[in-house]
Amino acid sequence: MRLLPAIVLPALGLSGCAEPDLARMFNQVELSVADDEATAAARFIETIDAAQQELHVALPAGQTVEITDAIGRAWTDRGVMVEVITDIDQEADPGIQALIAAEVPVTLADD
């Protein structure tokens, strides 16, 4: 079974003194196995490309280079604060290696 990434992106900053609406502060994208791979990747990349301030991404396995390229663009081109967590077994993945080479904060976790 192929695991698909989860992503959480903060939305626009708060203004005024009103109580924050937490539903509007974060965008979360979860992709399911019902999505074909191309559709899922396109939705994920579109969300990454929309990040403006922070991007927190869990990449469990089998990511496309297009997804890691989008994460790299957020970090290098737009100055988005990025945090990537992936399994230590993915360290040799070309996309993960590109993120590490670009000095994107990547945490390699072992369960």
Tell me what the mean pLDDT of segment 72-88 comes to. Answer: 94
Handedness of CA 66, 70, 76, 81 (dihedral sign): negative
62: pLDDT strictly greater than 90: no
| Mean pLDDT score of the chain | 77
102: pLDDT strictly greater than 90: yes
pLDDT at 14: 40
The structure's pTM equals 0.69
- CA distance readout (Å), 98 to 23, 31, 34, 69: 33, 23, 29, 8
29: pLDDT strictly greater than 70: no
- CA distance readout (Å), 73 to 20, 33, 34, 53, 70: 29, 26, 28, 13, 5
Of 22 and 97, more confident: 97
95: pLDDT strictly greater than 50: yes
8 A C-beta contact, residue 8 and residue 28? yes
